[in-house]
Structure 1
């Protein structure tokens, strides 16, 4: 007998609101009562970040959603641009945790203002209006920051460089990456524990290699960190290859994404 089906829907909605989106989907298939309750705005608003209204108020790209559930999945599947197109925001579908990508224009990229080394253009597959195109450098160094107060609290995060490689790219076999809290660790200290990664899609034994995302872009893990109470100021992710001063080219950068682990 479906005992949950005999309980008031508002009671079941309250129960579901203390679970997770993944648990709610599972429970909705186990009971007719839970199935009805799982459509409630009470449930899905609890799964949205507490500051979701403030975040989406900064965007011009969000379509109206008739229910909290539809809004939730819209934010999971279709990132919105915020802060004048400088960042994008989305939700992790399983947990409802916040994901942000900092656009290439907001990254600190050495020589990016020199057309001989870097160019800027639109890209049909990018969520941002511009991407950075590496023409030729010997010194590759880029970093992106985000305020920890923007991220979900008590959450493990991973920073990813999101990029593509042009046909005939070169000099991008390896680079060093790290993530640091700006106010707690110096660049030099963080460099000592930097990880070696490979932007190349070719096999590189023993190195963190790039992976292909569902949308066709590549991503490489730059480092991990734990966001506790969101009171640690800025967190910075950095990728660099400045030791082997060989020629490098063919890299297209969309941005750096900060995503729950």
Structure 2
């Protein structure tokens, strides 16, 4: 196919040769013409396609070997003798795949075995399934008996707030958005909003931007020593937010040699876009959403009596406009 931005490939799938009562994933096998460098297992390609009147996206292709890749299009339970599906492949992202041609080898049907969270096919069910199955691995959120700490900055003027809890004798910390968003006072990038629904006095709403950074330093006494922590971004999507359907790349700038970035979602992905249980947003009891950005050890990350946090969030496509950030939460694992 000579133009990745205008594929116009019609697919008709018949399941007469597949086992009845078995769930299958339908994968497109292809490769991009010309030499390609790949630094991770997945490559963002954003394949857009239609099934009926509905438009779908498959974001990540998986490397099969040095050249060929596969990308999952949809899943179905083969409960009929001759199930038929039709799809129209429209385009790959030209920005990430280049302007050259691609070779398409064919379709591959893979049996989906008993894997967690694979039993649902709608976005809503995916979120509910993820929430119910992941809660057993999370530390229970503390109740409202938190301690609010007021910290005055070195300039003697500005004041920032944090909340500190203790769960199972392990410190549990939450920092406000003003505390953790790099350059949070920049009115071109961030809009400060009063919020009665947050533990803090204010939250931050992002203005149109593709990239933002999280930068802060945590004093050692705020976290328990020799403890593994998960770092969660606490957020909501404004009613004005029309984007953030695609994944967001998270890079740890303190470990630049590690080229493997974490990918997270601010909206629940379709099952075929789900590669990591930690990448999806979950509903919290306090009405906010959370997504895991980073896991670390409080002893391994210690530098100069502090634990530095320096994360860069990059939206693959579009902007993060109207993402509302409450803060960061550090929970012992």
Match of 2:283 in 1: 212
- Between the aligned partners of 2:255 and 2:263, the Cα distance in structure 1 is 16
Shift of 1:230: 8.5
- Give the conservation status (yes or no) of the 8 Å contact 2:232–2:294: yes
- How far the C-alpha of 1:229 sits from its partner, in A, is 8.5
Higher strand share: 2
RMSD: 2.6
Determine if the alignment matches structure 1 residue 153 to structure 2 residue 225.
yes
1:220 Cα deviation after fit:
0.6
**Does the C-alpha gap of structure 1 residues 131 and 179 become closer, same or farther in structure 2, counting only changes over 3 Å?**
same
Identify the structure with the greater helix proportion. 1
Of residues 176, 184, 198, the one that matches 2:265 is 198
**Residues 193 and 143 (structure 1), Cα distance of their counterparts in 2 relative to 1, 3 Å cut:** farther
1:155 deviates by 1.3
Distance 1:165 1:254 in 2: 11
1:78 corresponds to 2:145: yes
CA 256–227 in structure 1, closer or farther in 2 if over 3 Å, else same: same
Match of 2:97 in 1: none
1:146 shift after superposition: 1.5
Structure 2 counterparts to residues 1-261 of structure 1, below 5 A: 76-84=143-151, 85-92=160-167, 95-109=168-182, 112-172=184-244, 173-178=246-251, 186-190=254-258, 192-203=259-270, 204-207=273-276, 208-228=279-299, 231-232=302-303, 233-236=306-309, 238-241=311-314, 244=316, 246-261=318-333
TM-score (norm 1): 0.59
Name stretches of at least 5 consecutive residues in structure 2 with no aligned partner.
1-141, 152-159
Q: Output the CA distance in 1 between the equivalents of 2:228 and 2:239.
A: 35
Cα offset for 1:168? 3.7
Distance 1:228 1:139, change over 3 A: closer
Q: Is contact 2:238–2:322 with CA below 8 Å preserved after alignment? A: yes
Deviations 1:40-67 (A, max 9, x none): xxxxxxxxxxxxxxxxxxxxxxxxxxxx
Kept after mapping to 2: 8 A contact 1:132/1:253: yes
Q: How far does residue 238 in structure 1 lie from its aligned partner after superposition?
A: 1.8
How much has 1:245 moved relative to structure 2? 5.9
Deviations 1:197-216 (A, max 9, x none): 00123534325111111111
Structure 1: how far apart are the matches of 2:186 and 2:265? 25
Report if the CA contact (8 A) 1:151-1:230 is conserved. no
Aligned pair count reads: 177
What CA distance in whole angstroms lies between the structure 2 residues aligned with 1:188 and 1:206? Answer: 23
Q: Is the 8 A contact 2:234 2:288 kept in 1?
A: yes
| TM-score computed with the length of structure 2 as normaliser | 0.48
Unpaired runs of 5+ residues, structure 1, are 1-74, 181-185
> Cα offset for 1:126?
0.6
Q: CA deviation at 1:81?
A: 1.4
Between 217-226 and 80-89, report the one with greater CA deviation. Answer: 80-89
